[in-house]
């Protein structure tokens, strides 16, 4: 408990530092939300000045930062200029859609990457290993934007799957089962894009971790004692290779938000991606900072989950921490 308490304290100070740096960087960026209003001849300078005062933008940076901290403590994360509403409900409504998309893609990518990486390591220099290497190299060489646009074009031409959005028009009056089928159909293309984008890294790391264990002296000793290959693979090699894979799993959870931004924008998925893009273009200060904080929360959650899994899976770590 002492170890996890220390990790939670470190996470708190990390989030605090991220919020402070976000405010500083946004302040250094040229322009703000009210600059475009000044260009509108129908809006007087007095109106713009009153709006700046209403939203506290006439205050110095430290005052605005501590006011934002107070708002974050209430669960609001500031106030959106464009939507005239607290930021947290806006982000959470979109974050649920992002979590649905990226959570499904992460689960499917790991379910594919683990068997492929293990099989490629166990049959190294065989045709399965060469085939996996060829496919993975091709995916690594393909830009994410080209991948998204290619699958979007395929969906438009074939019409097997919806080409954008999360639900079909008029689907609200259908039964629950049909609504779930409609959401699943809209999920198919963006999930496949995210899986293909994440698969190369997962397969390569799984293969490397398994190869390191399979080349170790105790695995060679187990083979010399006549233990079957399947028993060596699943009872000895895989548990020994789990540490780097657990760390990678935590990192993949931590990168959920950044991995989906491009796909969400191109595929018109109503997640955080389009909202963040709109906020950046409109210079909606607190929405941008709130999105950065959500991304940092994913990072903290992923690393903490990896620490918990490592603590549970590796007795050496438990012994070291208890000592």
pLDDT tens column, 276-296: 888 888 788 888 888 888 888
Using the predicted structure, report yes or no on whether residue 129 has a pLDDT greater than 60: yes
Q: 74 falls in which pLDDT band (50, 70, 90)?
A: confident
- pLDDT number for residue 282: 79
Give the total residue count for the chain.
323
* Mean pLDDT along residues 27-54: 74
Assigned CATH for 94-281: 1.10.3720.10
- pLDDT number for residue 13: 85
Q: 252 falls in which pLDDT band (50, 70, 90)?
A: confident
Q: For residues 68 and 130, what is the distance between their CA atoms, to the nearest angstrom?
A: 54
pLDDT tens column, 224-242: 777 777 777 777 777 777 7
- pLDDT number for residue 313: 66
CB 199 within 8 A of CB 112: yes
In the three-class reduction of DSSP (H, G, I as helix; E, B as strand; rest coil), residue 80 is classed as strand
Using the predicted structure, report yes or no on whether residue 322 has a pLDDT greater than 60: no
Within the chain, what is the greatest distance between any pair of CA atoms? 87
**Cα 29–Cα 75–Cα 283 angle in degrees, nearest 5:** 20
* Mean pLDDT along residues 116-139: 82
Q: For residues 241 and 209, what is the distance between their CA atoms, to the nearest angstrom?
A: 5
CB 273 within 8 A of CB 263: yes
Q: For residues 187 and 101, what is the distance between their CA atoms, to the nearest angstrom?
A: 7
Q: What is the mean pLDDT of the chain?
A: 79
42-51, 103-112, 205-214, 232-241: which has the highest mean pLDDT?
A: 103-112
- pLDDT number for residue 256: 64
- Alpha helical stretches, state H, the chain: 2-28, 35-38, 45-54, 61-73, 87-122, 127-141, 144-158, 176-214, 217-224, 229-231, 238-240, 242-254, 256-267, 272-282, 285-313, 315-322
Contact residues for 11 (Cβ-Cβ < 8 A; gap 6+)? 300, 303, 304
CB 284 within 8 A of CB 36: no
Buried b (16+ CB within 10 A) or exposed e, 1-16: eeeeeebeeebeeebe
* Mean pLDDT along residues 140-169: 80
CB 98 within 8 A of CB 272: yes
The DSSP bridge partners found for residue 276 are none
Residue 76: DSSP 8-state: -
CB 312 within 8 A of CB 249: no
Using the predicted structure, report yes or no on whether residue 315 has a pLDDT greater than 70: no
Identify the helix (H) or strand (E) that includes residue 86: strand 85-86
Which comes out higher in pLDDT, residue 316 or 260?
Answer: 260
Residue 209 buriedness (CB in 10 A; 0-12 / 13-18 / 19+): buried
Using the predicted structure, report yes or no on whether residue 33 has a pLDDT greater than 80: no
Contact residues for 311 (Cβ-Cβ < 8 A; gap 6+)? 3, 317, 318, 321
Buried b (16+ CB within 10 A) or exposed e, 166-182: beeeeeeeeeeeeeeeb
CA distances from 307 to 56, 303, 310, 314 (A): 40, 6, 5, 10
Using the predicted structure, report yes or no on whether residue 67 has a pLDDT greater than 70: yes
Q: What is the DSSP string of 150-209?
A: HHHHHHHHH-SS-SSSSS-TTGGGS-HHHHHHHHHHHHHHHHHHHHHHHHHHHHHHHHHH
């Amino acid at each position: 408990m002492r170890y996890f308490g220390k990790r939670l304290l470190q996470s708190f100070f990390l989030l605090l530092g991220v919020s402070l740096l976000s405010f500083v960087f946004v302040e250094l960026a040229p322009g703000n939300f009210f600059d475009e209003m000044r260009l509108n001849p129908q809006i007087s300078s007095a109106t713009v000045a009153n709006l700046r005062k209403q939203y506290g933008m006439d205050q110095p940076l430290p005052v605005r930062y501590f006011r934002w901290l107070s708002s974050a403590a209430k669960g609001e994360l500031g106030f959106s200029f464009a939507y005239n509403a607290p930021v947290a409900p806006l982000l959470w409504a979109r974050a649920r859609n992002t979590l649905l998309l990226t959570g499904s893609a992460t689960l499917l990518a790991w379910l594919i990457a683990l068997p492929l990486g293990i099989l490629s390591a166990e049959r190294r220099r065989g045709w399965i290993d060469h085939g996996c290497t060829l496919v993975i190299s091709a995916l690594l060489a393909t830009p994410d934007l080209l991948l998204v646009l290619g699958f979007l074009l395929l969906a438009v031409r074939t019409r097997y799957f919806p080409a954008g959005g999360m639900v079909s028009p008029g689907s609200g009056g259908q039964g629950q089962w049909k609504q779930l089928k409609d959401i699943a159909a809209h999920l198919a293309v963006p999930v496949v894009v995210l899986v293909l984008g994440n698969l190369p890294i997962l397969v390569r790391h799984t293969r490397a971790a398994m190869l390191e264990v399979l080349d170790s002296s105790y695995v060679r000793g187990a083979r010399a004692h006549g233990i079957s290959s399947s028993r060596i693979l699943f009872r000895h090699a895989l548990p020994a290779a789990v540490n780097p894979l657990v760390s990678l799993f935590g990192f993949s959870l931590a990168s959920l938000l950044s991995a989906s931004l491009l796909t969400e924008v191109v595929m018109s998925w109503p997640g955080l991606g389009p909202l963040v893009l709109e906020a950046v273009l409109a210079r909606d200060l607190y929405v941008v900072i709130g999105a950065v904080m959500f991304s940092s929360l994913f990072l903290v959650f992923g690393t903490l989950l990896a620490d918990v899994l490592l603590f549970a899976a590796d007795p050496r770590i438990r012994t070291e921490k208890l000592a």
